[in-house]
């Protein structure tokens, strides 16, 4: 039997129900159908616990795992064949029976500043909307005098609150805005050197059941994204970050080399520390851990 015949004729894909999550899952669906002629994909959406609780920050309601609980259960039950996630939203520890099996091409990983519609100047008397401590710490360094305030909800909800005058600006991921066709709302791009992005920002992660046929998964995996993701996730895990921590890493590959930038917040001194490491891209994961250990040693 050929590999093509071994691939299921219908592949069910689980996704969160938000517009952005659906658009991201459709990216994977199109790629599967292009790489595997004769295969049809079917989208199954569901609201996760994290989508339903919008009046608290992630660290108050139990962390990133609340965005995947229902999807994990559907995958285990065989109701879907794979699930698609914004990889930055996945917990640091992945269940062994639901491995991360593929990584998408990385969309623009940068953070951006979004002003109210029709405005080209920020009202410094109003807070900048972000629920991310990582973004809050870095934006205050970039814009002296700026204050931040939490904001939850999908991208469209956040933009509505911004345009209603509740915030002076938002800090969002370029990837989400571009996938939603809202690139025109971006007022300023922050380079990764100015604002180190969330680990794995811009990468879609695909989970399957352990031992499932992976031929079609191998066809859609992006090896550069995989190595960057493994490096960044290794850093975050080694540094001991949780969902409320600002600690993060960002990796870039050129030829066969990888450069990883890391951010570490020192709560005692209330300072942000940045460092970087480079080496062979084949050692991405080990380099991510080494950068974390080095930054921890430098604190002591």
**In the predicted model, what is the mean pLDDT of the chain?**
90
> For 205-242, how does the pLDDT look when each residue is reduced to its tens digit (9 = 90+)?
999 999 887 688 889 999 999 999 999 999 999 999 88
Give the alpha-carbon dihedral of 242, 130, 110, 163, to 10 degrees.
Answer: 160
Of 72, 81, 89, 247, the active-site residue reads 89
pLDDT at residue number 66 = 65
Residue 229 contacts residue 247 (beta carbons within 8 Å): no
pLDDT at residue number 271 = 85
Domains of the chain with bracketed CATH: 1-104+203-221 (3.40.190.10), 111-190 (3.40.190.10), 222-300 (3.30.160.40)
| 66 or 78, greater pLDDT | 78
Secondary structure string (H, E, C) spanning 192-224: CCCCCCCCCCCCEEEECCCCCCCHHHHHHCCHH
pLDDT at residue number 63 = 46
Residue 108 contacts residue 177 (beta carbons within 8 Å): no
pTM for the predicted model, two decimal places: 0.90
For residues 109-125, one letter each, b for 16 or more C-beta atoms within 10 angstroms of the residue's C-beta and e for the rest, the string is bbbbbbbbeeeeebeee
> For 239-278, how does the pLDDT look when each residue is reduced to its tens digit (9 = 90+)?
998 877 899 999 999 999 999 999 999 887 788 899 999 9
Asked if pLDDT for residue 56 goes beyond 70, the answer is: no
Is 4 one of the annotated active-site residues of the chain? no
CA–CA separation, 269 vs 25, rounded Å? 42
> For 67-96, how does the pLDDT look when each residue is reduced to its tens digit (9 = 90+)?
688 999 999 999 999 999 999 989 888 999
């Amino acid at each position: 039997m050929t590999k093509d015949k071994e691939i299921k004729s219908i592949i069910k894909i689980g996704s969160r129900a938000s517009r952005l999550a659906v658009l991201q899952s459709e990216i994977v669906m199109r790629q599967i159908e292009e790489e595997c002629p004769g295969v049809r994909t079917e989208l199954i959406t569901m609201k996760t616990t994290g989508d339903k609780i919008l009046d608290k920050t992630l660290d108050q309601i139990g962390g990133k795992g609340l965005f995947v609980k229902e999807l994990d259960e559907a995958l285990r039950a065989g109701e879907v064949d794979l699930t698609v996630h914004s990889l930055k939203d996945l917990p640091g520890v992945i269940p062994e029976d639901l491995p991360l099996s593929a990584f998408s091409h990385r969309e623009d990983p940068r953070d951006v500043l979004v002003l109210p519609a029709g405005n080209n100047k920020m009202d410094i008397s109003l807070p900048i909307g972000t629920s991310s401590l990582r973004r809050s710490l870095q934006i205050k360094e970039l814009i002296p005098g700026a204050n931040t305030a939490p904001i939850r909800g999908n991208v469209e909800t956040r933009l509505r609150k911004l345009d209603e005058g509740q915030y002076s600006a938002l800090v969002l991921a370029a990837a989400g805005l571009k996938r939603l066709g809202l690139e025109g709302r971006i007022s300023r791009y922050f380079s990764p050197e100015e604002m180190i992005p969330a680990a794995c920002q811009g990468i879609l992660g695909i989970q399957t059941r352990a031992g499932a046929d992976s031929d079609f998964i191998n066809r859609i995996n992006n090896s550069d994204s995989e190595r960057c993701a493994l490096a960044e996730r290794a850093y975050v895990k080694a540094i001991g970050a949780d969902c409320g921590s600002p600690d993060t890493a960002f990796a870039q590959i050129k030829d066969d080399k990888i450069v990883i930038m890391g951010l570490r917040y020192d709560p005692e001194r209330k300072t942000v520390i940045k460092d970087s490491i480079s080496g062979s891209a084949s050692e991405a994961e080990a380099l991510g851990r080494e950068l974390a250990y080095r930054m921890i040693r430098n604190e002591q």
